[in-house]
Structure 1
Amino acid sequence: MATVDASSVAAIGSRVRALREAMDLSLRDLAERSGVSAPMLSQVERGETSPTLQVATRIAHGLDLRLSQLLRLDEEGAVTIVRVQERRRGPSSVGGHRYEVLTPPLPGQRSELSRHVLTPGTATGGPGDPPVHEPGSRETALIESGRVVLHCDGTAYALDAGDTVTFDADLPHHFENPGPEEASLLAVVSAGLRRS
């Protein structure tokens, strides 16, 4: 039966462990999701065994990935550059809120960097909007220019240019620009990380 290339075993093991921990899964949880025994998963994570392609496929499925994503076959190398003209843009000027996603759409990526521009009197969302990030997500934002107010779980926080804020992104939240000038911020969302 075909197995994963021996030179990739250690890299796959550490990747499986990192992805499992980022999803806040125990070995037992991943075993239930993948159908691969916890002892086998432990051996794979420690680089003690080379999984068959069938086992690697099941592990990938348990991590909500395709096999090619787990093995990083979809990636061209260790460095990926997103040129300014390649940024993924949100719908243009929705209610005075423009944004661009600055990170590449790599498989299995657990964080995303975006840049938001708010005209005076506009917001990234509104009161009553449901959380847009998965449980356990954290967000860190750096205010580049202007002044914004973060509304998070019913509390308002005034932020000026140069301020940084980190919060649980699975709570209802939005940024608003009280004016009188345009404001911009960079935001990093780390998905599904533990709150410890």
Structure 2
Amino acid sequence: MLQTSIADTPSLGADLRALRKTRSVTLAELAARLGRSVGWLSQVERGLSQPSESDLLEMAEALGVSLSLLKGEAQPTEREAGHIVRRAARRPIGKGIAGLAEDLLSPDLTDDFEMVHSTFAPGSAAPAPITRPTQEVAYMVSGHLDLTIGGREFTVGAGDSFRIRGEAQAWRNPYDQPAVAIWVIAPPVY
């Protein structure tokens, strides 16, 4: 099985389009940020042109995502593409918050939602509360987290779930064990 980077797969263009639209950025606006033509960017989104490594880095910065989201190492077989995400092929995502590792569980960002696997290291915490225009539901696989949702404080543990609807949110893991959660987020924000 030939392994390629995501820049060589059709999902890159679809993911770029989904990220751009989720952020309410037009083709013209993103092209201007990148110093490229609208036509070139349109071709990338349609899978007709392949961006260079430096183009990918600029796109990631312009869209506020990690480069690893746009560039993967292990890719699915043609038969599995768009349906199956193998553990080794998960794309790391997130904003580089210390103590938080996140992987995209969804095959791409073209659905109305995304699934994310998050691991919160012991002693880690969100640097500041955030508010996103999303609806999010998470299921705690293991460990414990202290949450602040809309100004209310909660502690959740393995087997618990919680929902956030566009409210200010923050998290911290003051415990000795990592906490693992699976999220469904709509619309996709990564």
Q: What TM-score does the superposition give when structure 1 sets the normalisation length?
A: 0.50
Aligned residues: 115
Report the Cα offset of residue 83 of structure 1. Answer: 1.4
Secondary structure in 1 aligned to 2:148? strand
* Correspondence for 1:152: 149
Match of 2:114 among 112, 115, 129: 112
Gaps of 5+ in 2: 1-44, 48-78
> Structure 1's 106 and 190: CA in aligned 2 closer, same or farther, altered over 3 A?
closer
Deviations 1:44-100 (A, max 9, x none): xxxxxxxxxxxxxxxxxxxxxx899xxxxxxx8996111112211036974111110
* Correspondence for 1:189: 185
How large is the Cα RMSD of the aligned pairs?
3.1
* Correspondence for 1:7: none
Secondary structure in 1 aligned to 2:176? coil
Partner Cα distance (1:88, 1:177) in 2 = 23
Does residue 1:121 correspond to 2:132, yes or no? no
Contact kept, 8 Å, 1:92 with 1:98, in 2: the verdict is: no
Secondary structure in 2 aligned to 1:105? coil
Contact kept, 8 Å, 1:113 with 1:187, in 2: the verdict is: yes
Show the 5 A alignment for 1:37-186: 80-90=83-93, 94-107=97-110, 109-123=111-125, 125-127=126-128, 129-131=129-131, 133-134=132-133, 137-168=134-165, 170-186=166-182
Partner Cα distance (1:173, 1:83) in 2 = 30
Gaps of 5+ in 1: 1-65, 69-75
Secondary structure in 2 aligned to 1:85? helix
> Structure 1's 86 and 156: CA in aligned 2 closer, same or farther, altered over 3 A?
same
* Correspondence for 1:32: none
AA aligned opposite 1:149? D
% of aligned pairs identical?
24
> Structure 1's 149 and 191: CA in aligned 2 closer, same or farther, altered over 3 A?
same
Partner Cα distance (1:150, 1:190) in 2 = 20
Q: What TM-score does the superposition give when structure 2 sets the normalisation length?
A: 0.52
